[in-house]
Structure 1
Amino acid sequence: MDLLVTTAAERPDLVPLLGDFNDWPRFMLEDPVAPLYFTDAETAFPEFVLIAIDRDRPDRLVAKGYSVPFTWDGDPEEALPPGGWDEVILTAALDRLAGRRGTLVSALEISVRPDLRGTGLSSLMLDAMRRNAAASGFTSLVAPVRPSAKHLHANVSIADYARLRRDDGLPVDPWLRVHVRAGGEVAGVSVRAMTIPGTLADWRAWTGLPFDATGPVEVPGALVPVHCDTAHDHAVYCEPCVWVRHRLT
């Protein structure tokens, strides 16, 4: 494959391809914070939106990567935002309104075409995101990582899951492993990286599950159980993340 990885700023003509695939679980599309970024990421932050195509098939998206600069007043060597993915997006939106450039770049999403997964493209996209942040003058890329296999261990805490290692010392989780192999360091966890609330009718529509008993509900694709409260007709999902820090200098 003759791969071209570029940005929305460099190739705005490729932006229409970005909707070519999206296979997130249905409920993941209901995070109320996400539209602050994804509604106009390609125009608001075009230098940080990566687009990958095969030069021999320029009409087909191969992979995409979303990142964003944001302001973090703390020392990234000591701590990263406790609000994870949502906090990054909220802070980036406030930075944009205030005309601030941001102090760090955060990865938000890297997705590879389903039929090309397992071919090493995720590593290539992460490397491209690191190089793009460095070329923009930033010294760190951070990532509120959604561990790709955590949903198979929904009742394991995110802190315990992040500590799981193979015999070679690398993380058990495949996506965390990609980050560590690229030079990233696991820097901590957030237990509320994304919060998705809804009525019981909402959650039934999103998942096809009954949501008819108060307590934890295991939802396919969810990293932790969703809390259901039938007395008050609502359910809430607080998705955790693992923070990874990439030093770029």
Structure 2
Amino acid sequence: MLVTLAQRPDLAEATYAIPYPPDSPEFMAGSLPSLLVRGRRVARRWPHLVVALLDGGRPVARGVMVPFRGRGSLPARGWDEVAVWAAEDALDDVTPDTACALEIAVHPDHQSRGHSRTVLEAMREAVAAAGLGALVIPVRPPGKAAVPEMPMRDYAAETRADGLPADRWLRTHVRAGGRIGAVAPCSATVQAPLAEWRRWTGLAFDRDGVVVVPGALAPVFVSAAGDFAVYVEPNVWVVHRVGGF
């Protein structure tokens, strides 16, 4: 069963309690723009754009979106910039015309059952019901972590013999009717002192240069002298039309 938090506000806590997989990168918690769209804020302001998949009455997967007014082309600063746009538009009472998916999360005990596709389709329906014209997603292809130094543009362009994207998650979106758009080369940025990076990763971070961090889609830039490191993550914009398309 699929519901939105507007229909079942009592499920907000359980929906956001769905854990990420154990190997999810901890360092993404250092994204400052993500503080603008924390779970409780989104659930309170845009409950109709939070979708929960229920199994036995309990949420096992979620899809979280925020609305914004398009500014022309999709931003190179991807996830971060749309999070700021959504917050700006809410503060300025700007009428949105587009929804951006912030995440699709499936409980680790319920993986490999097609839940991501099910939630994605429910998100499109929720966007249409809200009167918005499109759902855009700065997709984070997890397989890219295996080739962190490969340009995202090249990675996203790789296809199988049947013409579908080689990446599993991009392939899911295309099969669901999504169109791969531009690469967002600096979609999510994490900057933090080296002590935090050591805590997140268990790595030394003791010299200047780049460090390949497990789970990262690109290398992390380190300044040992400055006592900080910066991670700039590329994503891939995917556009889903809604409302009768």
Offset from partner CA, 1:182-226 (integer Å, 9 cap, x none): 111111101110110011111111110000121110101100010
Offset from partner CA, 1:10-31 (integer Å, 9 cap, x none): 1001111021313331101110
Asked if 1:46 corresponds to 2:63, the answer is no
Distance 1:101 1:48 in 2: 15
Does the CA contact (< 8 Å) of 1:72 and 1:81 recur in 2?
A: no
Q: How does 1:11-50 map to 2 (within 5 A)?
A: 11-17=8-14, 18-23=16-21, 24-38=24-38, 39-50=40-51
Structure 2 counterpart of 1:168: 162
Q: How does 1:1-249 map to 2 (within 5 A)?
A: 4-17=1-14, 18-23=16-21, 24-38=24-38, 39-54=40-55, 57-58=56-57, 60-74=58-72, 79-248=73-242, 249=245
Distance 2:219 2:17 in 1: 29
Report the alpha carbon displacement of residue 117 of structure 1 after superposing the two structures with TM: 1.2
Offset from partner CA, 1:6-52 (integer Å, 9 cap, x none): 11111001111021313331101110110100141100111101111
Offset from partner CA, 1:40-65 (integer Å, 9 cap, x none): 110011110111111xx22x321001
* Segments of 4+ moved more than 6 angstroms: none
Distance 2:153 2:25 in 1: 23
Where structure 1 has 5 or more consecutive residues not aligned to the other structure, the ranges are none
Give the number of aligned pairs. 239
Distance 1:113 1:86 in 2: 25
Does the CA contact (< 8 Å) of 1:180 and 1:186 recur in 2?
A: yes
What amino acid sits opposite 1:16 in the alignment?
E
What amino acid sits opposite 1:94 in the alignment?
E
C-alpha RMSD of the superposition: 1.1
Give the secondary-structure state (helix, strand or coil) at the position aligned to 1:91: helix
Distance 2:110 2:163 in 1: 27
Report the alpha carbon displacement of residue 148 of structure 1 after superposing the two structures with TM: 2.1
Does the CA contact (< 8 Å) of 2:159 and 2:165 recur in 1?
A: yes
Give the secondary-structure state (helix, strand or coil) at the position aligned to 1:149: helix
TM norm structure 2: 0.95
What amino acid sits opposite 1:69 in the alignment?
P
Where structure 2 has 5 or more consecutive residues not aligned to the other structure, the ranges are none
Does the CA contact (< 8 Å) of 2:43 and 2:50 recur in 1?
A: yes
